[in-house]
Amino acid sequence: MENTGKPREGFSSGLAVFFASLGSAVGLGNIWKFPYLTGSNGGGAFLFVYFICILFVGIPVLLCEWYIGRRTRHNAIGAFESLKPGSLWKGVGVMGVLSAYLVMFFYTCVAGWVYFYCFKALTGAFASISAESVEGLFGEVIGVGTAGQSFFSKAVLSPIFWQFIVLCVVGFGISMGVRGGIERITKTLMPLLFVLIVICDIRALTLPGAGEGIRFLFHIDFSRITPSVALSALGLAFFKLSLAMGIMITYGSYFTEDVHLFKTAGKIAFSDTLVSMLAGLAIFPTVFSFGMEPSAGPGLLFMTIPLVFSKMPFGTVLLAAFFLLTSFAATTALLSLMEVPVAFWSEEFKMSRKKATFMNCLFIGLVGITATLSVDSSSLLGGIKLFGDGFFDFYDHLSSNIIMPLGGLLIAIFVGYFSKKEDVAYELSNHGTLENGFYVRFFSFVIRYVSPALLVIILLNTIGIISF
């Protein structure tokens, strides 16, 4: 069967497909989430569990999304409409676009902090910073104590300004098109990111006492693997591969016909994990070498790292390199998120790409301000709660805990039970030109029985029906 969509712009080659998808997978998750989770949950043992999750849920759902995208050559919502016209399955596409928006509301805010730190590092502001001043700086960034201040005060406007810069950069990249923007940017930034990480690694691994950091990351301790740790590995696999946000459906719709989907999925999962490990090798030896305790999340990225890097020789240069690579990671991940609504609006409403980009950036900027002003409970909008969360946490929790696992489950069910087996096999074997029957059969089994079961467990755990 031929693809149903009209011919449209797409990636130019398999290499472009690889870098664009890797650009989406590699993001803030590699730097503040993955290495810390690995180190504190049993090191090599956690990695082993993570790989099982990648194999049985991550890669199968990724393949489902690429199948849906490449087969239909449509955006996330149009793709379901094209496969099952007039059915409720379109709702799964709507959920994807919705979670892309929700994630962008807060991800642009965090990316803004990264840009700000990058600017500070490049201008040498961290040269001799103390623990108190680095804490104070982060407090400023997240708007601590701004409740009751005027919206137009500098403390309130400054993080909004950086979020605005992020949207301008991402919007500019997206408006340049799939090839001229996403492809060109990811092909340049991904190799650069790799070089910058390796530079940071060399410095970190030659510090006295670096061995403790390596041990933290790679010791193997199977006794640390509890059901709840396994569950977080599963959630991480989803987050890392940017699943259930419409991203991989949209990117799949730009893939060339000759891309070997199985091999590409394996390469992406492997390279993404490699980037996380390399980031961990830059972070933990440095942190331990200066006698500090590693933490997770914003604390690690915005307080510990500036402090330890500023204390070592060539620290300011390395800190600039580190924040530069972190801003590359955040930017390429955001490009993939932004492409989801832009593809939808420009295709379904016949809007020009530039106009769709502008309107979406404006919308995300306006709503995203609510996330930026609610990070801390003493921030300007910190007192407003939605289901017990401030805006920032609400966008994060609703998308990561509910919409993404539910979307992933529905995608697996759609491909496993509501799509013709022959159609799926035809697409995954590149129209029958690949001899990959074993992989296709393995995939069909996993997507029908294993992935849905694991995803149901995640969901039941999230909504509190079962707990580990």
Query: Distance of CA 28 to CAs 58, 275, 456, Å?
Result: 18, 11, 27
Q: Taking Cα atoms as reference points, which of 44, 2, 16, 442 lies closest to residue 254?
A: 16
Q: Is 333 in the site for ligand PFF (CB under 6 A)?
A: yes
Subset of 87-106 contacting ligand PFF (CB under 6 A)? 103
- Binding region for ligand PFF (CB under 6 A) out of 22-30, 66-74, 166-174, 357-365: 22-30
Q: Is 275 in the site for ligand PFF (CB under 6 A)?
A: no
Q: Is 300 in the site for ligand PFF (CB under 6 A)?
A: no
Rounded least distance, CB 408 to ligand PFF, Å: 12
Which phi and psi (to 5°) does residue 220 adopt? -110, 120
Beta carbons of 120 and 319 less than 8 angstroms apart = no
Binding-site size for ligand PFF (CB under 6 A) equals 12
Q: Taking Cα atoms as reference points, which of 19, 35, 119, 104 lies closest to residue 323?
A: 119
Say how many C-beta atoms besides its own lie within 10 A of residue 58's C-beta.
Answer: 28
Q: What is residue 386's DSSP assignment? A: B
Rounded least distance, CB 397 to ligand PFF, Å: 12
Q: Is 28 in the site for ligand PFF (CB under 6 A)?
A: yes
Q: Which is nearer to ligand PFF, 93 or 315 (CB)?
A: 93
Q: Which residues of 318-353 are buried (b: 16+ CB within 10 A; e: fewer)?
A: bbbbbbbbbbbbbbbbbbbbbbbbbbbbbbeeebeb
Rounded least distance, CB 137 to ligand PFF, Å: 23
* Helix locations, 290-401, DSSP H: 298-299, 305-310, 315-348, 353-372, 391-397
Q: Which is nearer to ligand PFF, 59 or 156 (CB)?
A: 59
Rounded least distance, CB 286 to ligand PFF, Å: 21
Using CB under 6 A, which of 10, 27, 96, 306 touches ligand PFF? 27
Q: Which is nearer to ligand PFF, 27 or 60 (CB)?
A: 27
Q: Which is nearer to ligand PFF, 316 or 400 (CB)?
A: 400
Rounded least distance, CB 147 to ligand PFF, Å: 28
Q: Which is nearer to ligand PFF, 23 or 60 (CB)?
A: 23
Rounded least distance, CB 337 to ligand PFF, Å: 5
Q: Which is nearer to ligand PFF, 25 or 318 (CB)?
A: 25
Say how many C-beta atoms besides its own lie within 10 A of residue 200's C-beta.
Answer: 22
Q: Is 197 in the site for ligand PFF (CB under 6 A)?
A: no
Q: Is 29 in the site for ligand PFF (CB under 6 A)?
A: yes
Q: Is 403 in the site for ligand PFF (CB under 6 A)?
A: no
Rounded least distance, CB 381 to ligand PFF, Å: 22
Question: 217-221 contacts: CB < 8 A, separation 24 or more?
Answer: 217/35, 217/38, 217/39, 217/43, 217/277, 217/280, 217/281, 217/284, 218/43, 218/44, 219/42, 219/43, 219/44, 220/42, 220/43, 220/44, 220/45, 221/42, 221/43, 221/45
Subset of 103-162 contacting ligand PFF (CB under 6 A)? 103
Beta carbons of 37 and 232 less than 8 angstroms apart = yes
Q: Which is nearer to ligand PFF, 210 or 324 (CB)?
A: 324
**Radius of gyration (C-alpha) of the chain in whole angstroms:** 22
Q: Which is nearer to ligand PFF, 31 or 440 (CB)?
A: 31
Rounded least distance, CB 250 to ligand PFF, Å: 13
The H or E element containing residue 148 is none
- Sort 304 into a burial class: Cβ within 10 Å, 0-12 / 13-18 / 19+: buried
Rounded least distance, CB 50 to ligand PFF, Å: 13
Using CB under 6 A, which of 19, 36, 101, 239 touches ligand PFF? 239
Q: Is 245 in the site for ligand PFF (CB under 6 A)?
A: yes
Q: Which is nearer to ligand PFF, 333 or 428 (CB)?
A: 333
Q: Which is nearer to ligand PFF, 337 or 356 (CB)?
A: 337
> Would you state the torsion angle of the CA atoms of residues 172, 113, 308, 396, taken in this order, to the nearest 10 degrees?
-110
- Binding region for ligand PFF (CB under 6 A) out of 51-59, 110-118, 236-244, 378-386: 236-244
Q: What is residue 206's DSSP assignment? A: T
Say how many C-beta atoms besides its own lie within 10 A of residue 75's C-beta.
Answer: 30
Q: Taking Cα atoms as reference points, which of 9, 8, 24 lies closest to residue 186?
A: 24
Rounded least distance, CB 428 to ligand PFF, Å: 23
- Binding region for ligand PFF (CB under 6 A) out of 27-35, 191-199, 365-373, 417-425: 27-35
Residues that bind ligand PFF (CB under 6 A): 25, 27-30, 103, 239-240, 242, 245, 333, 337
